[in-house]
Structure 1
């Protein structure tokens, strides 16, 4: 850390913090994630260390970049790309407080970039398992990037099922709430929750208790009527937030829908990303 100076704290949680740091020699800025291992049990340590693995494996234009990481004195230090625009959750709150709404073009563009990022993950048989607006980051050119791979999970194949409970309650799909095995469709549901939040500035299922949230996710239809939004968004919400995971589209099926395919192609063409994403479209 001798070559870096701390600029400001970007956030903190029970396991550690994220700080904006600057390289004294180059002036380059990074988000430094520090995870304290001292008070963790073995399972928690393994989960923390897995983030280093996934940051090394996962590369793509809509995934947060990792530059270096190491363990030092019972702490994990991860130098990552700094997202100047903050989180998508920050942006949603900003618009909500200002009484403004996101236009349809912006919403579908962002969701398409998230879908591209999940395609990159699923192509390597990796589930994110905690997709939410707080884990999506905006960089200076307007690109949205997926971050926080702390509880991501690698499966033998993308069709395999996992059993470990995970994620944030508001974004959990019915199968996880019921304690059933789950697969890739857990991330599809979460994309639907993010899309819903972008449109209505609230979570699709809310309650004062976790039990209440789970009960609504499992049994209650969405509160808002689909007639309130654009037809393309309405169709996406119906597909992504289907309570039956077998009826939810895979990430590949989702990417082939006309509207998402159009926006992904536009994003790739405008930024000249054909080589970076070529392997994904071969899956």
Structure 2
């Protein structure tokens, strides 16, 4: 249900998505007729303090990060007793998750997507913000085909002298081992998750899996990164090198977003090149 204040500025259209705490609708600006997405969150569905904190943080974080070509931008906000409504960039209905399901991605295509994803994450990390739920479902595309990171509902600021966060937040297949272990962690949890996204783009399957969340977490903790020959037969050694440096259990050795952007495979757009 769109508030009257919102209807004064935006014309409601059809529902385009539904999530845990509400719905996403397409709206048109009453003045320009430009289309936007309206994310309506029902506060009554927020069950605990963590959910409420994320609700309060999301618009603040998105406002701080806007604008950036690879981050979904927030344009307006309306709040009432029971709802919070965010006016966001309107993206295509097909996410990276849908693209992976539909067809295999070539290395140049995967490298292009990874360059844009890491550019957006590097921007977040420069502000001390960690997304905490990087996965194909949260990676969108605008109508020009540009990749945009969305859904900052789990994002938070790094705090303290060491710049850390805590809490078991994320999606089992993509969550970093230090998160599962319950230790304080930093922005490199996003790099681990992005590495898993890259693995899935190239292989069509995640590197760590199980029948349920507990089994997946156990596989993540083992961190036994493998490249089965039947799947990675045609994947370059350069791509595998980058995967090892992103999906690395030793956080001190794991690449940062900026380091990923400087990796030869990214710089060469996924083309095969000799490694030193």
Residue equivalent to 1:91: 99
The change in CA–CA distance for 1:220 and 1:57 in structure 2 (over 3 A counts) is closer
The change in CA–CA distance for 1:88 and 1:215 in structure 2 (over 3 A counts) is same
Residue equivalent to 2:81: 73
Deviation at 1:106, TM superposition (A): 0.7
Residue aligned with 1:47, SS: helix
Farther-moved stretch of structure 1 (77-86 vs 226-235): 226-235
Residue aligned with 1:20, SS: strand
Map 1:200-215 to 2 at 5 A. 200-215=203-218
Residue aligned with 2:201, SS: helix
Pairing 1:64–2:67 present: no
Residue equivalent to 2:129: 126
User: What is the TM-score normalised by the length of structure 1?
Assistant: 0.85
**Long gaps (5+) in structure 2:** 1-5, 270-276
Q: Work out which of the residue numbers 166, 172, 182 in structure 2 matches 1:163.
A: 166
Q: Work out which of the residue numbers 27, 51, 63 in structure 2 matches 1:21.
A: 27
Pairing 1:224–2:227 present: yes
Pairing 1:31–2:44 present: no
Q: Work out which of the residue numbers 56, 59, 62 in structure 2 matches 1:52.
A: 59
Residue equivalent to 2:273: none
Tell me, yes or no, if the aligned pair for 1:87 and 1:136 is still in contact at 8 Å: yes
Farther-moved stretch of structure 1 (36-45 vs 247-256): 36-45
Tell me, yes or no, if the aligned pair for 2:242 and 2:263 is still in contact at 8 Å: no
Deviation at 1:158, TM superposition (A): 9.2
Deviation at 1:250, TM superposition (A): 1.5
Residue equivalent to 2:178: 175
Residue-pair matches, total: 258
Tell me, yes or no, if the aligned pair for 1:88 and 1:134 is still in contact at 8 Å: yes
Distance 2:169 2:31 in 1: 41
The change in CA–CA distance for 1:120 and 1:158 in structure 2 (over 3 A counts) is farther
Distance 1:222 1:168 in 2: 18
The change in CA–CA distance for 1:170 and 1:158 in structure 2 (over 3 A counts) is farther
Tell me, yes or no, if the aligned pair for 1:193 and 1:204 is still in contact at 8 Å: yes
Distance 1:199 1:159 in 2: 34
Residue equivalent to 1:135: 138
Residue equivalent to 2:192: 189
